[in-house]
């Protein structure tokens, strides 16, 4: 157990929220240990300090067995995350306890278990970058090691506020994350023993070296995103959608196909069954280069069946890990699934406190809390890294105007609204093309082309509604052609076949080539040879099938060139007939 500084005792218990009368002092956000049985303590965090030496504490584990008058121990330490080599390939719970390590002893997670997040028996090759007599400060690089395929910087811990002078350095060799590799002292002569890992309070952002505005788009391999609603390195995106709209599928694709270095999954409150999918599926995924995705992933899992207080900790732990890899000079994508469950946990705790409720009983400050999460994303020009945050939202009934969705939308640079209707129609990705989705980031096509495609899709949707109400034959041939064009553009350019190894991921070069052909389809004149709706439908069915066949051919292959020529031949033949 941590070194005990002060004591108190329970005076009130409300599920995951307790009141404690302390003897001397208490500190905001410090960790406490609450007795729940003989020599068994569970952890919590001080969230409020009231008159009469009363501390309000949210508890991270089950309080079964706790009684009024039981002892509470104040540790004087904040909730922290352990940062160092070895985070990749790991799966943690909401308090950074390694799940698979704990599962070796039991199928159930024991309460009050104290574990070390990083394996202390793993040896890492350490190469010093400092010498005796050098002056260093927080964030300076002490040495290098290798984690998976990445060069890994060993920093002076960021919580050291003084300049240090190096007094001793180990030789290059193999060491564990807890071995001292550098000795240093400050001006007062106080000695510091520095290892390859350190603890950091999760609610304090790790500092940027030089922060800059996100501008460079992330190639995701998904045409609807790269062309119409781009994401940016260091940017933020909200992915709202009703249950069954494909949020998990979209997360799979973003992790698998995006051109990023590190992917972090924070399952902060999803149902246990959905979290199991993450454990089973993500480790088996291969990235677009054919390498194991797990080699560059870290998973934080805190399901809805776990205490609500741990949901808040889980998302902050994930963000702190993302910030740490950003300082390593890497491009990180954090997927938080879902921020709705996290906000619901805050609502539950707020209700137990008796706080004045805001809209739909959420805390009054929920917009500020959500904004605080997304503000920790960004590009660090000084380190060369970036942290992009993608938060999924599960609004009840698919209502995008509810408080969490609205606050998330106001805090982010992109909004990918998922549609249940599109998901039911097996249209992948099920991002709504014509209503709610948008992005403020620059993408891989011009704004003019983007606006033209969106306008065509909206026009096609309007004509489709008229066809449903009035019948196909009531639509003029010219308008029916516009409807057919929008249908083909959606099905061959926007939609992708997630089961096809080639079509599921589109390169920037192929996207540009596809755009040229899509624009040719959109600019096709009405041929005099087409005199009926059936004839128009038959023409665009041929174009669509030729395009779909081409989408499944590998670049630089003979079939790729032949397929492209087939598409262009059909388009050119209609253009020539129209001119004649």
Whether 227 and 375 map to the same domain: the answer is yes
Candidates 390, 71, 457; CA nearest to 251 is: 390
Among 412, 439, 466, which residue terminates a domain?
Answer: 439
Whether 399 and 305 map to the same domain: the answer is yes
Whole-number Å distance between alpha carbons of 288 and 346: 38
Establish if 523 belongs to a structural domain: yes
H-type alpha helices, 177-268: 223, 247-257
| Owning domain of residue 557 | 447-579
Whether 558 and 477 map to the same domain: the answer is yes
Residue 369 in this model has a pLDDT that exceeds 80: yes
Whether 255 and 159 map to the same domain: the answer is no
Give the rounded distance of the alpha carbon of 377 from its chain centre.
Answer: 10
Summarised one tens digit per residue, pLDDT across range 263-314 is: 999 887 666 666 666 667 766 777 777 788 888 999 998 766 666 777 778 8
Structural contact between residues 347 and 340, judged by C-beta atoms closer than 8 angstroms: no
Per-residue confidence band for 551, with pLDDT thresholds at 50, 70 and 90: very high
- CATH code of the domain covering residue 374: 3.40.50.300
- CATH code of the domain covering residue 14: 2.40.30.20
What is the mean pLDDT of the segment spanning 384-394? 95
What is the mean pLDDT of the segment spanning 67-93? 93
Per-residue confidence band for 576, with pLDDT thresholds at 50, 70 and 90: low
Establish if 203 belongs to a structural domain: no
Whether 176 and 157 map to the same domain: the answer is yes
DSSP state of 16: T
Share of the chain above pLDDT 70, in %: 94
DSSP string, 262-290: EEEEEEES--HHHHHHHHHHGGG-B-TTS
Whether 23 and 127 map to the same domain: the answer is no
DSSP collapsed to 3 states, 151-169: EEEEECCCCCCCCEEEEEE
Among 387, 417, 439, which residue terminates a domain?
Answer: 439
Whether 265 and 390 map to the same domain: the answer is yes
Residue 27 in this model has a pLDDT that exceeds 80: yes
Structural contact between residues 88 and 147, judged by C-beta atoms closer than 8 angstroms: yes
Establish if 87 belongs to a structural domain: no
Q: What is the pLDDT of residue 1?
A: 42
Strand order in the sheet with 182-185: 135-136, 164-169, 182-185, 191-194
**Encoded tokens for 194:** 């520095």
Whether 221 and 170 map to the same domain: the answer is no
Q: What is the pLDDT of residue 68?
A: 95
Among 51, 79, 107, which residue terminates a domain?
Answer: 79
Candidates 394, 465, 373, 386; CA nearest to 210 is: 386
Q: What is the pLDDT of residue 580?
A: 46
How many Cα atoms are found within 13 Å in the side-chain-facing hemisphere of 407?
A: 25
Structural contact between residues 411 and 374, judged by C-beta atoms closer than 8 angstroms: yes
Residue 4 in this model has a pLDDT that exceeds 80: no
Per-residue confidence band for 39, with pLDDT thresholds at 50, 70 and 90: confident
Q: What is the pLDDT of residue 312?
A: 79
Q: Mean pLDDT for the chain?
A: 90
Whole-number Å distance between alpha carbons of 102 and 303: 16
Which element (helix H / strand E) includes 182? strand 182-185
pTM of the model: 0.93
How open is the CA angle 419-421-426, to the nearest 5 degrees? 95
Summarised one tens digit per residue, pLDDT across range 105-136 is: 776 777 878 788 999 999 999 999 999 999 99
Whether 269 and 252 map to the same domain: the answer is yes
């Amino acid at each position: 157990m941590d070194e005990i500084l002060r004591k108190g005792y329970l005076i009130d218990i409300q599920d995951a929220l307790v009141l404690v009368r302390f003897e001397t002092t208490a500190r905001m956000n410090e960790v406490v240990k609450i007795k729940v049985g003989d020599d068994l303590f569970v952890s919590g965090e001080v969230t409020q300090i009231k008159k009469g030496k009363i501390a309000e504490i949210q508890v991270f584990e089950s309080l079964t067995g706790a009684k009024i008058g039981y002892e509470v121990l104040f540790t004087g330490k904040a909730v922290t995350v352990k940062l160092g080599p070895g985070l990749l390939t790991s799966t943690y719970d909401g308090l950074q306890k390694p799940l698979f390590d704990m599962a070796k002893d039991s199928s159930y997670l024991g309460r009050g278990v104290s574990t070390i997040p990083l394996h202390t028996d793993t040896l890492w090759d350490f190469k010093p970058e400092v010498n005796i007599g050098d002056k260093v400060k927080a964030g300076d690089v002490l040495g290098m090691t290798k984690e998976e395929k990445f060069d890994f910087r060993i920093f002076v811990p960021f919580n050291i506020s003084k300049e240090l002078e190096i007094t001793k350095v180990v030789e290059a060799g193999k060491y564990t994350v807890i071995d001292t590799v550098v000795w240093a002292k400050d001006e007062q002569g106080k000695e510091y023993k520095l290892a390859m890992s350190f603890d950091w309070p999760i609610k304090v952002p790790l500092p940027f070296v030089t922060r800059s505005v996100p501008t460079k788009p992330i190639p995701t391999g998904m045409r609807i995103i790269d062309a119409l609603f781009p994401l940016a390195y260091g940017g933020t995106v909200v992915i709202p959608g009703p249950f069954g709209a494909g949020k998990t599928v979209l997360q799979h694709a973003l992790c698998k196909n995006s051109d990023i270095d590190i992917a972090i999954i924070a399952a902060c409150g999803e149902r246990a069954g959905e979290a199991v999918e993450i454990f089973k599926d993500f480790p088996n995924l291969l990235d677009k280069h054919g390498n194991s995705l797990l080699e560059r992933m870290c998973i934080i899992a805190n399901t809805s069946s776990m205490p609500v207080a741990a949901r808040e900790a889980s998302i902050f732990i994930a963000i702190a890990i993302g910030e740490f890899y950003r300082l390593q000079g890497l491009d990180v994508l954090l997927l938080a699934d879902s921020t709705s469950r996290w906000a619901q946990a805050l609502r539950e705790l707020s209700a137990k406190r008796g706080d004045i409720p805001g809209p739909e009983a959420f805390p009054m400050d929920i917009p500020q809390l959500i904004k605080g999460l997304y503000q920790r994303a960004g590009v660090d020009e000084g380190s060369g890294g970036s942290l992009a945050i993608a938060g999924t939202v599960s609004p009840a009934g698919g209502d995008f105007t509810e408080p969490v969705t609205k606050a998330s939308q106001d805090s982010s640079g992109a909004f990918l609204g998922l549609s249940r209707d599109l998901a039911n129609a097996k249209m992948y990705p099920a991002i709504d093309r014509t209503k709610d989705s948008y992005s403020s980031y620059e993408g891989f096509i011009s704004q003019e082309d983007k606006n033209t495609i969106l306008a065509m899709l909206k026009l096609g949707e309007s004509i489709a509604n008229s066809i449903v109400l009035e019948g196909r034959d009531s639509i003029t041939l010219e308008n029916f052609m516009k409807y057919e064009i929008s249908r083909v553009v959606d099905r061959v350019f926007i939609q992708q076949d997630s089961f096809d190894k080639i079509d599921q991921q589109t390169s920037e070069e192929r996207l540009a080539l596809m755009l040229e052909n899509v624009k040719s389809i959109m600019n096709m004149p009405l041929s005099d040879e087409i005199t009926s709706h059936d004839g128009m439908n038959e023409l665009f069915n041929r174009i669509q099938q030729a395009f779909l066949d081409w989408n499944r051919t590998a670049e630089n292959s003979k079939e790729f060139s032949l397929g492209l020529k087939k598409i262009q031949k059909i388009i050119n033949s209609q253009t020539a007939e129209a001119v004649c």
